């Protein structure tokens, strides 16, 4: 059994602080990316919703109004699914990148 020296303890502590810093930085950047995606989706959604209302008000027949509503519903659903998928990918990327330093630090300590 190897005895831990003060230097070993210092190195371990330094690795833990560095890992925590990388995790915090990665999480912060990822959350900013998610916030930007959410804001862009909200902006796009409001614009397309307003355009759909304008087309509905301009419709001369019930059939045209139904078609406008159907097209808008389809477009809104597809946009939501696309943005949700993208945000899910960002969450996955954050998780894998943020915890990689902690995994590396843990694997180093278990090897000693």
pLDDT tens profile 57-109? 999 999 999 999 999 999 999 999 999 999 999 999 988 887 777 666 566 55
Q: Is the distance from CB of 26 to CB of 91 less than 8 angstroms? A: no
Domain boundaries, the chain: 31-105
pLDDT tens profile 21-46? 888 888 899 999 999 999 999 999 99
Give the torsion sign (CA, 96, 101, 105, 111).
Answer: positive
Residues 6+ away with beta carbon under 8 Å from 87: 34, 37, 38
User: 16-39 burial string, b = 16+ CB within 10 Å, else e?
Assistant: eeebeebbeebeeebeebeeebee
pTM of the full predicted structure? 0.69
């Amino acid at each position: 059994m190897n005895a831990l020296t003060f230097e070993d303890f210092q190195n371990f502590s330094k690795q833990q602080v560095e890992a925590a810093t990388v995790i915090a930085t990665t999480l912060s950047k990822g959350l900013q990316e998610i916030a930007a995606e959410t804001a862009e989706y909200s902006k796009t959604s409001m614009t397309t919703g307003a355009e759909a209302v304008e087309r509905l008000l301009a419709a001369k027949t019930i059939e045209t109004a139904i078609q406008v509503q159907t097209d808008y519903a389809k477009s809104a659903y597809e946009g939501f699914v696309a943005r949700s998928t993208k945000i899910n990918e960002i969450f996955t990327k954050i998780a894998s990148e943020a915890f990689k330093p902690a995994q590396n630090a843990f694997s180093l300590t278990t090897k000693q």
